[in-house]
Amino acid sequence: MVSYTESPLLSSLRGRVPGIPSEARHALCDQLEIGMRELYTHLPQKMSAFGIDPIAQLRALRASREGNFTRRMLRIINGLKDRHTTLRMPPPWSALVAYVPFVIERVYHDDLPHYVVTKQLFGYDEIPVGATVTHWNGTPIHLHINALARETQGSNWAAALRLAMANLTIRPLAYVLMPGEDWVTINYVDPDGTARAVSTPWRFYSTAAGAQSHGSVKAGDVPAAALTVGLDEQTLLSNKFRSIAQKPPEKAREALTTDGILRYGVVHTPSGRSGYLRIFSFEVPDPGAFLKKLAGILENLPQDRLVIDLRGNPGGQIPAGQGLIRMLTAKPLTPAPIAFRATPTTLGLAAAPAFQEWRRSLELQSATSNVWAQAFPIAPYYDDVPPYRFPGKVAIIIDALCYSTTDFFSADFADNEIGPIIGIDASTGAGGANVWPWSVLVNYTRFLGISGPEPLPSGFDLNISMRRAYRTGASAGLPIEDLGIRAQILHKQTMRDLLEDNVDLIACAVASLA
């Protein structure tokens, strides 16, 4: 593992990266305006919910001669409060993660929140695990986190706070600007009750692959896996960095097996034993193979009770998440459907066989004046799903970092009344869309021979929410975006959860199945 002190100082990057030429700034504003006007599925909802007009903002930015172009552009994108629709910075930023060498998480004691160092990165040990942080650069830690939360893309307060904690010490520079300070001073109380202060610089780590790219769609690849994605890429990149930089928990459950993005086994609690499955991501190359693997795991766990832990899961392939729902019960199910916003460009896209279900309602838009097309599932529940059906009771655990495909999964779990939902936050992250990379849109519209976006300049890239998702069942017709899926049982994390592998949280989830 790389030593913390071997990582270069973030301050060494300041002033070394050239600015963006005016022609590139104009082209970027023009292309993003096309994306907002013709493609962005949530535009009417976002304009109403947050009182914004991104098209007018982009036009004003294009005409402006003021500096801070990148900061102002990111403020427009972040103002959408949509973790799907993200502007990805060009090299070198696309491969860099800024960090200070520890993770801070929230824990409750006597019903009050405290902020505790729970993990050390790259061998750092100056602030001990279990220390309670009181101040960040002289600001009370809860006030600093609240201020940071207001700058995140969280569309509800639970999501904004959870993102602020996730971004507090780890910031992928593909999606966010460099921190304004070169170092931070942390005041904390160590586990023996002694008050201390430590200053530590921001450093950066270069990832091998950088921010994710889904590549291009070729004529022979339609429909491509790139068109069935539901993913928060920034959280995925942060999670991958943490998996590289941090040590495993000292008090891990020995009976659990870790296999890539899965962790599973049997847990023993005061309410009895249960199967346990942690899914860190649905970002898999082959949803069918992933579901087959999950079926094999589930068959070998206790068949009476199962806890599926989704915390921090940023999504991935939507068919992988919705396919797993099919394996959790034998009863009939209704999946969350998705819909394009009705525009001339989405009507042109609907000429492709992959989108023929949406075509008729898009063609009728002038007669119906509907803002969105009809909504249909992205894939039938039974495609590539093994025949196994879990026979017992199931509960899921969520937090506000659960996003996109994980929102689809949680919505289907709730709306089909499969079991209880336990949350360490009040709701999921509220990402209700199928997201497409800009490069895929460019190649796809060219393949269809319709007017559409052009490549972005200067190494920038963009992901954009293309089809919005709806709830079913008792919540039928409500969007997932901005609302998310509510926890039915709220668990306030304890110190034992953070330092002893979620022992109280898992006990709470198993008790809900008693």
Segment 317-321 mean pLDDT: 96
pLDDT grade for 225, boundaries at 50, 70 and 90 = confident
The residue ranges of every structural domain in the chain are: 4-9+96-206, 20-94, 248-334+380-432+480-511
Whether residue 216 is predicted with pLDDT greater than 50 in this model: the reply is no
CA 181, CA 463: separation in Å to the nearest integer? 29
Amino acid, single-letter form, for residue 271: S
Q: Retrieve residue 395's tokens.
A: 């509960």
Q: What is the 3-state secondary structure (H, E, C) of 160-221?
A: HHHHHHHHCCEEECCCCCCCCCCEEEEEEECCCCCEEEEEEECEEEECCCCCCCCCCCCHHH
- The dihedral sign for the CA sequence 485, 55, 77, 285: positive
Q: Retrieve residue 154's tokens.
A: 């969280």
Segment 323-332 mean pLDDT: 96
Whether residue 470 is predicted with pLDDT greater than 60 in this model: the reply is yes
Where on the phi/psi map is residue 449: left (φ > 0), alpha (ψ -120 to 50), or beta? left
Q: Are 335 and 412 in contact (CB under 8 A)?
A: yes
- Give per-residue pLDDT as tens, 72-88: 999 999 999 999 999 99
Segment 363-386 mean pLDDT: 90
Q: What three-state secondary structure class fits 469?
A: strand
Q: Are 373 and 340 in contact (CB under 8 A)?
A: yes
CA 134, CA 195: separation in Å to the nearest integer? 9
Which own/partner contact pairs does 369-376 have at CB distance under 8 Å and 24+ positions apart? Answer: 370/342, 371/44, 371/341, 371/342, 372/41, 372/339, 372/340, 372/341, 372/342, 372/468, 373/339, 373/340, 373/341, 373/342, 373/346, 374/339, 375/337, 375/338, 375/339, 375/470, 376/337, 376/338, 376/339
CA 333, CA 335: separation in Å to the nearest integer? 6
pLDDT grade for 384, boundaries at 50, 70 and 90 = confident
Whether residue 123 is predicted with pLDDT greater than 90 in this model: the reply is yes
Burial zone of 510 (CB within 10 Å; 0-12 exposed, 13-18 middle, 19+ buried):
buried
Q: Are 433 and 404 in contact (CB under 8 A)?
A: yes
DSSP 63: H
Cα-based angle 202, 400, 86 (whole degrees, multiple of 5): 60
Whether residue 29 is predicted with pLDDT greater than 90 in this model: the reply is yes
Alpha carbon of 140 to those of 68, 146, 186, 452: distances in Å? 29, 10, 10, 48
CA 171, CA 149: separation in Å to the nearest integer? 14
The position carrying tokens 């969007």 is 479
CA 267, CA 272: separation in Å to the nearest integer? 8
Asked if the 4-9+96-206 domain carries CATH number 2.30.42.10, the reply is yes
Q: Could you give the dihedral angle defined by the CA atoms of residues 314, 118, 132 and 185, in that order, rounded to the nearest 10 degrees?
A: -80
Q: Are 439 and 215 in contact (CB under 8 A)?
A: yes
Q: Are 419 and 395 in contact (CB under 8 A)?
A: yes
The position carrying tokens 């750092």 is 124
Backbone angles phi, psi at 376, to 5 degrees: -135, 155
pLDDT grade for 214, boundaries at 50, 70 and 90 = very low
Q: What three-state secondary structure class fits 436?
A: strand
Nearest in space to 315 (alpha carbons), one of 202, 100, 469, 183: 469
pLDDT grade for 292, boundaries at 50, 70 and 90 = very high
Contacts of 355 (CB under 8 A, 6+ apart): 340, 349
Whether residue 494 is predicted with pLDDT greater than 80 in this model: the reply is yes
CA 290, CA 319: separation in Å to the nearest integer? 10
Whether residue 213 is predicted with pLDDT greater than 90 in this model: the reply is no
For position 222, what pLDDT does the model report?
Answer: 42
CATH of domain 248-334+380-432+480-511: 3.90.226.10
- Rounded to the nearest integer, the mean pLDDT of the chain is 93
Which runs of consecutive H residues, i.e. helices, occur in 35-79? Answer: 43-50, 54-63, 69-78
For position 443, what pLDDT does the model report?
Answer: 86
Q: Could you give the dihedral angle defined by the CA atoms of residues 3, 152, 105 and 239, in that order, rounded to the nearest 10 degrees?
A: -50
Q: Retrieve residue 378's tokens.
A: 């992205």
